[in-house]
Amino acid sequence: MAAELNAQILDAAPGGVIATCSRGMVNYWSRGAVEIYGYAAEEAQGRQLLDLIGMSGQSWQDLLAGFSPAQPLIDLECLRHRKDGSPVFIDASCKAMYDGHAKIERILFSQKDVTAARTLRDAKLAEGRYRELLESLPDAVVMANASGRIVLVNSQAESLFGYASGELRGLSIEILLPERFRHGHVMHRANYFVQPRTRTMGAGLELYGVRKNRSEFPVEISLSMMATEEGSLVMSAVRDISDRKKAEQKFRGLLESAPDAMVIVNSRGEIVLVNSQTEQLFGYPRQELLGKRVEVLIPARFATHHPSARDGFFGQPKPRAMGAGVELYGRRRDGSEFPVEISLSPLEMEDEVLVSSAIRDISGRKRIEKALEEQRHELERASKAKDRFLASMSHELRTPLNAILGFGQLLSNESLPVTEAQRRSFSSNIVQAGRHLLNLINETLDLAKIESGAITLSMEAVGLHELLHETRHMVDAMAERRGIRLMLPEESPLAVQADRVRLRQVVLNLLSNAIKYNRQGGAVVVDFGRRDTGRIWLTVQDTGPGLRPEQIAELFQPFNRLGQEGGPEEGTGIGLVLSKRLAELMEGSISVSSTPGAGCAFTVELAAAAPPPAAAAEAPLAAVPAPQRRPQDKPLLLYVEDNPANLRLVSDILSLHMEVVLLTAGDGAAGVALAREYLPDLILMDMNLPGMSGREAHKVLSEDPATAAIPVLALSANAMRQDIQAALDAGFYRYLTKPIDIAEFTAAVQAGLSWAAEQRSRRA
């Protein structure tokens, strides 16, 4: 009963009553203590008192050292903190209770919150000592004591925050902060009193004040500690930076709208501002760059010299391009480098000079410049090559023309005593020179077509054994005249993917050269096989004098006959160049090996193909003899095509799918002649014909009233959209591309024949 009465008396006592053991553990926590500190009795019981309410740097041993049996009572005014972290000034009486052995058994604390009284006392002190000084300052100034209570403000602060004179005194400093920052500020303020020093508050943070009407505005705050005999006061100089923020926002907007990466650096080389283009260009997030040295954006090999160049700019700041005439490079976060162009401009700020760097990635421009430079060199090389080509061609053309004109003048001069044998010799020389000139012109035109991309190939499977026997028949007479033995490999099913006509041209050129530049009674050995890579090789080897390494290096140059120009063998100097270009167009290659005195070996390499189907036992397809009269029961078709394989294919397709009579022609002129004579129901026209092209042949037929109404269906390996559209615009009935889709082809032929029949019935 007595204990309860004592507890009631202590709870009702003014202020707070706390009892602890000698180690500082709380045994009793009165209702008044709850009101002062915010801890419930249950929260405080059993906890160390200074852990609950003590300030940093205070220890229980220091407190115990102030007691003695002779002086068990201590009165003091101290700063403590509440549960929410806010400081509170306490007027405390502390009584140590000793046991029979003069040891502290318990300590009794009677405490009173004197924060308001202390604030009033501090305010009177600050008013008398600092008022005049504060009013002379241009900024708003707020002074607060260790409990965070405002003790003095100047009129600039009252005006800035919208309070009447004296209205802020005694209020918590947090009243001037937005609600969202207040709790954190209590902790920051307490820490500042533990380690006070003059500093700018919230460096790198966005700080805001709040007026009495709750409107917010951005501020800049500096803090300084002032020591008095009553304790420390903190003075805050507050500056409204709304105008500066607006200007900065406008500046940032301009910075973000800039097309280039913008990096702003101070005199110490620290990055203070970047735009989003900088983040994208260098691969850094903005916060990772701010405060870093600008050299982080420069390759290491240049970074060591950059600070001196930077100092030089700050010494004489003026707008200029950086590194004029020097190759500049930036370095991304991943370490990759890229060429840049940089312009520098000084920015005059209130307290320092900054430099603004506009950085532009010029990788694209450098690629274009490099491409243009390479193109320029290529054009120069092409121009020189053209000059050499024209000079060589002029020489090669004049040589046979000299013979033609010379012998022609001899023949035309009737006053000369020329015998019949001499006339025949002159005529023979003219014909021989004319043929040489024709070969020269044809091969030059072929080479020009290849170089301009005007040549079109019809790729198919070509059997090498069959092709070699075809070409052998063309060179047998030449080999026999020179006593050269031709040795071909045994029959083999090997085939390559190539244009049959062009491959025959290549092989014929190699065989002709092997015979012409061989020794009398020598041999030409031809062989072919398959490499491990799956490609097919064909080699033509002779037993001639061979070539030196320097001659091989010049072998594939136009008109370069390697010193044979004055020899007995005719040649144009274009054949090997033409053969090499044709092989490359067929996705192949030509190489040469030679040992002086032991002959040369030329090797063609091409992609392998499945062997072509065996030819039927019937006679080879040739131009179908024209019927004596136009058949009345079967439609008449004319196919103009120079490739025998294509002729065979279309003939077989038609014979299997419909009953027609087929006429064929190997070139445009022959096709026009057959069309005029037999008036077919439908014409199938290849577009790339020797001599007169398919377009030209169609134009001739369309201008002739007798053949103008005949539908012409184009068949071509040219599959480009513009080629197809150009043919249709020219009046072709349809345009089909090779390889032929049989269903599409037969449908197109049937439609053409139906249309032709309809036109005939209308005319009838």
Question: Mean pLDDT for each consecutive 10-residue tract of the chain (764 residues)?
Answer: 62 83 91 91 91 80 85 87 85 89 89 86 82 86 87 90 91 88 73 63 72 91 80 86 78 80 86 88 90 86 75 70 71 91 80 82 88 86 66 59 72 79 80 69 65 74 88 81 89 89 85 87 92 91 85 64 44 70 89 86 92 54 42 82 78 84 90 92 88 89 91 82 82 84 87 84 67
pLDDT value of position 399? 57
**In whole angstroms, what is the distance from residue 106 CA to residue 590 CA?**
110
Token look-up 């005049």 returns 132
DSSP state of 358: E
SS (H, E, C) 143-203: EEECCCEEEEECHHHHHHHCCCCCCCCCCEHHHHCCHHHHHHHHHHHHHHHHCCCCEEECC
User: Is-contact 26 17, C-beta < 8 A?
Assistant: no
Instruction: Identify which of 317, 346, 341, 316 has the alpha carbon closest to the alpha carbon of residue 327.
Output: 341
Whole-number Å distance between alpha carbons of 514 and 522? 10
Find all residues with CB under 8 Å of 212, minimum gap 6, and list them.
Answer: 161, 162, 163
Show contacts of 223-226: CB within 8 Å, 24+ apart: 223/192, 223/198, 223/199, 224/198, 225/196, 225/197, 225/198, 226/130, 226/143
Burial class (CB in 10 A: 0-12, 13-18, 19+), 715: buried
Residue 626 has a pLDDT of 42
User: CA-to-CA distance for 703 and 221, rounded, in angstroms?
Assistant: 95
CA 195/CA 192 separation, integer angstroms:
5
**Tokens standing for 233?**
């006061």
Q: Residue 726 and residue 720: Cα distance in Å, rounded? A: 10
Give Dmax over CA atoms of the chain in angstroms: 170
Q: In whole angstroms, give the CA distance from residue 190 to residue 53.
A: 13
pLDDT value at residue 567? 42
Q: What span, in angstroms and rounded, lies between the C-alpha atoms of 43 and 26?
A: 10
Helix residue ranges, H only, 415-542: 420-452, 464-482, 500-516
For the record, the structure tokens of 716 come out as 């071509």
* Amino acid in position 598: A
Q: Model-level pTM?
A: 0.40
Name the H helices within 413-453.
Answer: 420-452
> What pLDDT sits at residue 199?
62
Identity of the amino acid at 250 = K
CB-side neighbour CA atoms (13 Å) of 372: 6
- Alpha-carbon distance of 731 to 325, in angstroms, equals 60
**Structure confidence at residue 197 (pLDDT):** 65
pLDDT of amino acid 621: 38
The residues with which 525 forms a beta bridge, in sequence order, are 487, 541
What residue has token string 């229980």?
60
Strand runs labelled E in 503-571: 523-530, 536-542
Q: How many CA atoms does the CB half-sphere of 226 hold within 13 Å?
A: 17
